[in-house]
Amino acid sequence: MMRMIGQDLLDYVKNLKQRLSYIEKNSEFWTLEQNGHSFGVLYVPRRQPLPNDPSSGLEFFINSQGKENDTAALVYPDRRGNGYGLSRFHDDKRLDFTRIEAEPDVHFAHVRGFVAKTKAIDANRLKELVRKAWIV
């Protein structure tokens, strides 16, 4: 039993290290401006092969980069479709994704506004959607 637990822990650390390396190589930080305010967004473009859970490890990565106070949103490939997931980082209430639910390329926005799914794949369109969700 102890061996299984130990192996589980080792596998977790190994997978997390690989995940953080993938994010570091493939992501970029955006600084967006809306209503006279600027805020950070971590963007992970769709690359092949796509990890099983594209949003996994993003918080660890942001913290490791010292950007936890500057980042408000995450934009990452939707694992269930060809589009992207948009979400608040650390549940930043300055973003409300229900504000974009009527957009033609948004197919889901959670009623509490913390996450949305879009068919959009163009980086400029993704930036526009995140800006529209900014409420400050």
* Domains of the chain, earliest start first: 2-47+54-133 (3.10.310)
Give pLDDT tens digits for 74-124. Answer: 999 998 888 999 999 999 999 999 999 999 999 999 999 999 999 999 999
CB-CB contact of 48 with 55 (8 Å): no
What is the Cα–Cα distance from 115 to 58, expressed in whole angstroms? 15
Give residue for tokens 């948009």: 86
Confidence of residue 135 (pLDDT cuts 50, 70, 90): very high
What is the Cα–Cα distance from 36 to 34, expressed in whole angstroms? 5
Locate all alpha helices (DSSP H) within the chain, ordered by sequence: 2-26, 58-64, 123-133
39, pLDDT greater than 80: yes
Cis peptide before 49 (omega within 30 of 0): yes
pTM for this prediction: 0.88
SS3 115: strand
SS3 62: helix
Confidence of residue 52 (pLDDT cuts 50, 70, 90): confident
Q: What is the mean pLDDT of the chain?
A: 93
Nearest to 53, CA basis, from 29, 24, 76? 76
